[in-house]
Every structure is written in C-alpha cells, then in structure tokens.
Amino acid sequence: MSGLQDRVIVITGAGGGLGREYALFAAREGAKVVVNDLGGARDGSGSGTSMADAVVAEITEAGGSAVADYADISTGEGARSLIDAALTTYGAVHGVVNNAGILRDTSFAKMTADQFEAVLKVHLLGSFHVTSAAWPHLREQGHGRIVMATSTSGLYGNFGQANYGAAKAALVGLAATLAIEGRKANVLVNSVAPMAATRMTEDVAPAELLAKLGPEHVAPVVGYLLSDECTDTGSTFVVGGGSVKKHVLFESKGVQFAEPPSLAEVASRWSDVTDLSGAVPGTNPVG
C-alpha cells in the first residue's frame, strides 16, 4: 500500500475551510474519509448536519468514499463515538487530523475564564480525546499517522488570541510527546501551522494577504504527513501560499555559571545568553 490508498482517515472540523480541503484531497488520493463537523458557528455556538453532509456529497459525487459524523469531539464520549463510526463503517482507522477549532478572540485584559476554557476545550481537549480514542487501534496495528493543527499564533503569539495561542502551542507539545511514545509502533505524529483564508481567519489577516492563501495549498502537505511515505515524526511545519517550512526550536550557546550567580552577574552576561550566533536546534536534556 502506498500514499493514502484505502487508508481510513478521520478529520475533525472537516465541514468547511481547511478541514474540507483536507477531506477532499485525501479522498482524491484514495482514502476513505470520516468527515466530522459539529456544524456550529465560528465561536462554537450552534450545531447542524449540513456542513459535514455537503462535504461527503462532494466526495461521493466525485467517486470517492466518505461518511459524515456530527459528534462533539470536545468530550470524550463524542470523540469515542467518532472513532467508533470509522471502525463501524470501514473497519479500521489509520490516520487522524485534529483540525476542529473555534475562536473567542479578545484582548487578554477583557478575556474571561469561560472564553479561555471554551477554546482550550475544543482545540486541546478535543485533540486529546480523539487521539486517545484512536491511539490503541493505531498502536495495535503497527501503523498510524496523526496531524495536529497548530498555528503561527501558537508559535509566535497574536494580539487578542491568548486562549487560541495557548491551545495551539500546547498541541505542539502534545505532538512532540506522542511522537516519542508512538515511534516504536510506527505511529507518527506531526504538527502543521497553516496560513490560509478561511472563516477562522477572515477578519484576522488583511484581505490582500488572505487572497494569496488558499487552503488548497495546505492540503497536499497534510496529505503527505498522513501517507505511508512520510517518515517524519515530532516535527512542525508552517504551510501556506505555496510555502512549506519546517519550524525548529533553537538554543543559543548560552552561559554556564560555576556557582549560582548574583542578579548583577546574570545582568552582566545577559548579552551572551541572548546571542544567537552559533545557535543549534534544542533538545530535551532529560529525554
């Protein structure tokens, strides 16, 4: 088997935007796709079946294979029912794209706990719940591909998105750990920070920039990360507008103090601490 042919791919938030593109691309490559979407608004309110149904109709009318799922993946019960739907319909699950998300943007000074927690519940807990439900099946069969949808807001921050940025940064850490734990079972886990024009970004980025960032540019990279050909794991990629870049954490050469330094000693060496000439990719010293 190669590529995505006959692989069963579960994609959350696949009723529109990037998720829809991922689903259409995977189906064109021969995958059997479970199109999950709660059908709510951008802020997570409401629900409906029309969004997921429309994507399934597009796929089946083009000769592909897909099934709709409307579960709320922010709960463990909903996530388990989603994976059960893949197993019941197709008998397996081979790949997961944790793409579902909502926005509750506001400055941190005005952000409520409810706004913060609602975003983490969908992006972070939803990704945890779906991955947790799929994990034993992927490990048992000795094959799995997981893609986490992070964001440049998680990598670099963005005004008004403390909740979103925190959730997206957390997904990079989750993916890094799962990559370590899944490696022996050939379960590969990577993250993609997409730059694309969708309803999530329609008022976040300038219109002239969004015009260059069609979601169709991102889908082939996600498709590759789901494929049998992919051997990367624990990596993060920034993708959009035809650009594909690997994002890596670097560390400066830094300073080694023989004894606990005073504040003045730290201050005197701070320019050496922050000097990035000769920086190298960071590693976990306790890993």
Residue 115: its H or E element: helix 113-120
Q: How far is CA 176 from CA 54, 78, 137, 172, in A?
A: 34, 25, 20, 6
8 A C-beta contact, residue 105 and residue 159: no
Phi and psi at residue 27, in whole multiples of 5°?
-65, -40
The residues near 105 (Cβ < 8 Å, ≥ 6 apart) are 160, 161, 164, 204
The first and second tokens of residue 167, run together, are: 């959730």
Instruction: Identify residue 271 by its one-letter amino acid code.
Output: S
8 A C-beta contact, residue 137 and residue 83: yes
Plot region of 254 (φ>0 → left; ψ -120 to 50 → alpha; else → beta): left
Rounded (5°) CA angle 11-63-224: 40
**Catalytic pick among 22, 70, 90, 164:** 164
8 A C-beta contact, residue 38 and residue 47: yes
CA 200 to chain centre: 14
3-state secondary structure labels for all residues of 127-155: HHHHHHHHHHHHHHHCCEEEEEECCHHHH
Tell me if residue 164 is catalytic.
Answer: yes
Q: Catalytic residue numbers?
A: 164
